[in-house]
């Protein structure tokens, strides 16, 4: 094996490693972008979930107030005009 063969083989390996490195950098950039997008979505969903939870608590409180304030009448009781 001559020096030029070794040099040519080394050059091919270096080029292959550079392509692999470029591919990995591209994948990493895509994954970082995907993670950032998912992070924004999770944050927005969390805020919406908190808002919905607050509304649910308020509705439950209003329902309880309505139940507490309601004069419970038996179902079979006739209205006063009968």
What is the C-alpha to C-alpha distance for residues 42 and 60, in angstroms, rounded to an integer? 26
Segment-wise mean pLDDT, segments of 10 residues, the chain, 82 residues = 80 97 99 99 99 98 91 66 68
Structural domains of the chain, count: 1
pLDDT of residue 5: 75
Domain membership of residue 82 (yes or no) is no
**Domain limits for position 43:** 1-67
Neighbours of 51 (CB within 10 A): 10
pTM over 0.75: no
């Amino acid at each position: 094996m001559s020096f030029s063969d070794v040099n040519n083989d080394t050059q091919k390996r270096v080029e292959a490693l550079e392509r692999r490195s470029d591919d990995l950098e591209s994948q990493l950039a895509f994954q970082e972008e995907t993670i950032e997008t998912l992070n924004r979505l999770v944050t927005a969903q969390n805020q919406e979930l908190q808002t919905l939870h607050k509304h649910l608590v308020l509705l439950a409180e209003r329902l309880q107030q309505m139940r507490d304030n309601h004069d419970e009448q038996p179902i079979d009781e006739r209205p006063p005009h009968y």
